[in-house]
Structure 1
């Protein structure tokens, strides 16, 4: 229950991170959307999502609607497990929203959030974490969700940002990008610190027990990876630009946390540092690459959660140690521990099928919505800002009044 609370509190971190990383005129909308999407996920996951994820079945759960799942005597109650797993799907949805930021209609969040919680997340979740799931039976290692939570959210974000197309003013006619800085780096830093704290519920909490102390080991590998990601991202961007850019460092922390999420229970501390550092550097190069390709991912959701999710999932096929695999009881040792390519192949298969499924269903949902009602706000609404156009009030009303007063004074003077 404590772990569930920690992971749910990550929603506050995502609200601060996303709002701080985008423009002032959309800050209230982006923060408020986080609360709305968590509420939608809570209802949809209670009614259908939990049963689809953890009910009996090889390909999808076919029982357990409204948490009507039989429970073993002495096991953790279904109520608590639901809240813990709800926190995960809500994080995955928060990641997806990064690709929608600053130009999607509010209605898209409501409809897509509902369908993501019922039709997308539970399917891959069941394959990997369901007792009868086919990837679970193959031994796929994803201790706390590099694939199930982060890769799914990252792929959905990429599909959305491709379909919505770039924000107005992001790219010039020759394709060169313009910087659209976030309005508050302090919010972004505080958001990442909250998310980092919440991750101690995310990864260690996935042990589902505090009795043997293994949760402390998982907390150790998680923290080492995050620290390595921050340092590696800073070093990388400094070498490339000569500046230690704050948003890049923040992305390095998050990318490292994403990567270690699959591996945290399977790898030794030295490997956690390597995995985290590699993820931090990868996030820098990935963000630069996609921007050069004309893809406007406002908070780099796919680079941080998608690319790092792929790396983290594959990393257990390299670094999973024999003693930890035996302790956890899932899959086999990695390549560097004499396990050959078997586990790496299982991990690669899991990544591939998960990406294909999430991309296909996300595209289908958004394509239908676009044909029926449209998914992007009008140019006028986007320029005005979603705070006013969608909600009728500004996240920073004093700033709006200052702008209005200056406009009136200019008109009177002319």
Structure 2
């Protein structure tokens, strides 16, 4: 019986790993759909690079940095103990890991998929004007070092875990980590040409393929069943089914809320708001998907959807240019979802809300400081923004020497 359970758990975790991997296709389609045709290859290249370098970095450094043998002062993972490379378990590939639930290797793959997601969030926010080389350097440092350190504070049994902070699948540890960096990057990078006009009005820069964006969101919604479902860390029927239900309902509620609030505010049935509302609901439920009731998940998703509309408006008002709404989705809804654990569900209470707030602030401060240091250094050395000519003509031609749709060339300058 134990052997059967071990196998079932391991197979479920591998299925979830595959679903999370599929999310990178979803991000790719969403990002190219919400941006212009002339930058399609550039965005796809970044997404392929992120998952490729992310897995290598996680194997060489990130996994052991995120799950260290010990901590220095309870905060910084001890770099000098088993830092580099994966460690072969004593009994090889069949080694039981995580309380006997699945193998060491399955855990590495599952956690590695999460690691790459943080940089993918930044990719969408800086689309259409960031230098590819500078973005790749940022990705290497942020995914290789910053993400594993913050993750170790909770998931690696660090100081936030000891405090009582709770983040089931990463509203803060994945989404906000990417969201804070996206905020800094957008600020230092500046807006795209034509986004904010001299008279103070906002220029509309529509995406070139809403069917792609819609397909991307449906793929992400599907992938989130692995993202949250796998975070149960077993195939436990009761826990897994509850997580899948709360995840799905929050997504549906978030989408409906965003479209309704957008309709009330702008008098239009805005598909992009609807899509980002779905994602906002998913990010919002991720911190507490396993401790919420059906009603809780619907409320959390509904509030997240409203925050998407208000968040996008706020970001525009601050003259920050986020082409895909990544800051509203991943940062604002990530913060909301993390705090929601202290307001709804099995863990709710003032003490828990305080723990959640400490987690949000501490991760936020660390990510703001580190991302600013990385991006500012790149800005004053190699530069982070392409020339005006490159931006006007498109990054695909200038940085890649090719066109995403050579047989259907459109003039979208």
TM-score, length-normalised on structure 2? 0.91
Alignment of 1:8-407 (within 5 A): 8-56=21-69, 57=71, 58-62=74-78, 63-64=81-82, 65-68=84-87, 74-75=96-97, 76-131=102-157, 133-321=158-346, 333-335=347-349, 341-400=350-409
Cα displacement (A) at 1:94: 0.8
Shift of 1:69: 7.2
CA displacement at 1:272 relative to structure 2: 0.4
CA drift of 1:96 comes to 1.5
| Dislocated runs of 4+, deviation >4 Å | 69-73
* C-alpha distance after superposition, 1:297-346 (max 9, x if no partner): 1111111110000000000001131xxxxxxxxxxx213xxxxx100000
Q: What RMSD, in angstroms, separates the aligned Cα atoms of the two structures?
A: 1.5
Contact 2:46 2:123 in 1 (8 A): no
**Structure 2 Cα separation of the partners of residues 54 and 60 of structure 1:** 11
Contact map agreement 1:37 1:109 (CA 8 A) in 2: no
Task: Please list every run of 5 or more consecutive structure 1 residues that lacks an aligned counterpart in the other structure.
Answer: 322-332, 336-340, 405-414
Q: For the Cα contact (< 8 Å) 2:283–2:334, is it kept in 1?
A: yes
Structure 2 residues not aligned, in runs of 5+ = 1-13
- Cα pair distance change 1:71/1:376, threshold 3 Å: farther
Taking the aligned partners of 2:90 and 2:254, their CA distance within structure 1 comes to 40
Report the CA distance between 1:294 and its aligned residue: 0.8
Shift of 1:175: 2.3
- Corresponding residue for residue 338 of structure 1: none
**Mapped partners of 1:71, 1:13: distance in 2:** 37
| Equivalenced residues, count | 386
Distance in 1 (alpha carbons) for counterparts of 2:88 and 2:290: 28
Shift of 1:78: 2.1
1:21-58 CA distances to partner (integer Å, 9 max, x unpaired)?
A: 00010011111210111111111111101111111223
SS at match of 1:274: helix
**Cα deviations across residues 173-220 of structure 1 (Å, max 9, x unaligned)?**
132211001000000000000000000000011011113431111001
Quote the offset at 1:372 in angstroms: 1.2
Aligned-pair CA distance for 1:240:
0.7
Distance 2:319 2:89 in 1: 50
CA–CA distance in structure 2, aligned partners of residues 371 and 69 of structure 1 = 42
Pick which of 179-188 and 95-104 moved more: 95-104
Question: In the TM superposition, what is the alpha-carbon distance from 1:128 to its structure 2 partner?
Answer: 1.5
Q: Distance in 2 between matches of 1:68 and 1:104?
A: 37
**Aligned counterparts of 1:279 and 1:313: Cα–Cα separation in 2:** 11
Question: C-alpha deviations, 1:255-276, integer Å up to 9, x for none?
Answer: 0100100010111110000000
1:327 match: none
Deviation of residue 60 (structure 1)?
Answer: 3.2
Q: CA–CA distance in 2 between the matches of 1:319 and 1:388?
A: 50
- 1:2 aligns with 15
SS, match of residue 203 in structure 1: helix
* Farther-moved stretch of structure 1 (305-314 vs 210-219): 210-219
Distance 2:236 2:68 in 1: 27
Partner Cα separation in structure 2 for residue 67 and residue 80 of structure 1: 12
